[in-house]
Amino acid sequence: MIAALNGAFDDISKAMRLHRVWIALAHEDIGDQHRRTTLGPLWMLVNYVAFVGTFVFVFQPAGKGAAGYAAYVAIGLLVWFYLMEVMSMSVALFQREESFIEGTTLPLFVYVMRLALQSAIRAGYAIAGCVVILVMSGSPVATPWLWSLVGLLLILFATPALVTVFAFLGAFFPDSQFIVGNLLRVGMFFTPVFWMNNGHDPIQKYAYEWNPFTYFLEIVRLPVINGEFPAHAFTVTIIASLVTWAIALLLLGRYRKQVVFLI
């Protein structure tokens, strides 16, 4: 185990020294995805705002203020779409990077950071839209918003670990990209992205309390919606992040040299 961890840290260290490589590749990917479009990357902002508007219009509960529900959904979709994109795209990461992995000696973590940075850039456009929606919905900008910022940073901290774990999952089990995609589509309805826990429905209560994604949403949402520090949500999220990093380090250290034979 010690040898595996040393190998993982060595790979990560080399990748960090090559930060200009994965930064350039990530920016190139974003540009390629919106080449020849009129709005360019702003389409990511338009798509996010359109989703929020649709969910608020269709799912707003009776008797709830539209402004408060808009803020609730805006933050929920921001975090959920980010996590869903990271996991769904990570499963096929090593297959997409097959030519680089077979033809270069770059550290494997370079490809992890390439995808992580891509996702963070796309999320940046959604964050801009989310802030606008929050201000327009009347959510007062206050000190507790700083805890939401800390929550976002914690999610960013967990991102490379999530990418690593799901990338190895896809390398070992190619069918997992279809399984993960289907589970995430279903999982959206079992995660409080657009519905609120009323505490009465036992299925809803179970889905809220035992779904780890709930707490990733709440560390960003509760400080803005309720002006409170969600200590329990932060505790669960920190533990989940550290466990994910531990798994990622073991996978990276033990199997990074075998990936080329799996893809």
Q: Which tokens is 186 given?
A: 């279903």
Which residues have CB under 8 Å from 136's CB, separation 6+?
Answer: 70
Do 207 and 179 form a contact (C-beta atoms < 8 A)?
Answer: no
Do 28 and 121 form a contact (C-beta atoms < 8 A)?
Answer: no
Distance in angstroms (rounded) separating the CA atoms of residues 253 and 31: 32
pLDDT in tens, 117-172: 999 999 999 999 999 888 888 777 788 899 999 999 999 999 999 999 999 999 99
Average of pLDDT values for 190-201? 84
Distance in angstroms (rounded) separating the CA atoms of residues 163 and 109: 10
Distance in angstroms (rounded) separating the CA atoms of residues 182 and 77: 18
- What crossing angle do the helices spanning 2-17 and 231-255 adopt, rounded to 10°? 100
| DSSP 8-class letter at 154 | H
pLDDT of 67 reads: 63
At residue 2 the predicted structure's pLDDT band, cuts being 50, 70 and 90, is: confident
pLDDT of 64 reads: 54
Numbers of helices and strands, H then E, in the chain:
13, 0
Three-state DSSP state, 228: coil
Distance in angstroms (rounded) separating the CA atoms of residues 250 and 75: 33
Average of pLDDT values for 249-254? 93
Do 94 and 167 form a contact (C-beta atoms < 8 A)?
Answer: yes
At residue 6 the predicted structure's pLDDT band, cuts being 50, 70 and 90, is: confident
pLDDT of 65 reads: 58
| Predicted model pTM | 0.91
Lowest-confidence range among 2-6, 205-209, 252-256? 2-6
pLDDT of 135 reads: 87
Burial class of residue 115, CB neighbours in 10 A (0-12, 13-18, 19+): buried
More confident residue, 196 or 19: 19
pLDDT in tens, 216-234: 999 999 999 988 899 999 9
Nearest Cα neighbor of 118 from 74, 150, 85 is 85
Do 193 and 76 form a contact (C-beta atoms < 8 A)?
Answer: yes
Distance in angstroms (rounded) separating the CA atoms of residues 210 and 2: 33
Average of pLDDT values for 175-193? 92
The pLDDT of residue 181 is above 70: yes
pLDDT in tens, 11-63: 999 999 999 999 999 988 888 777 777 777 788 888 888 888 888 877 776 55
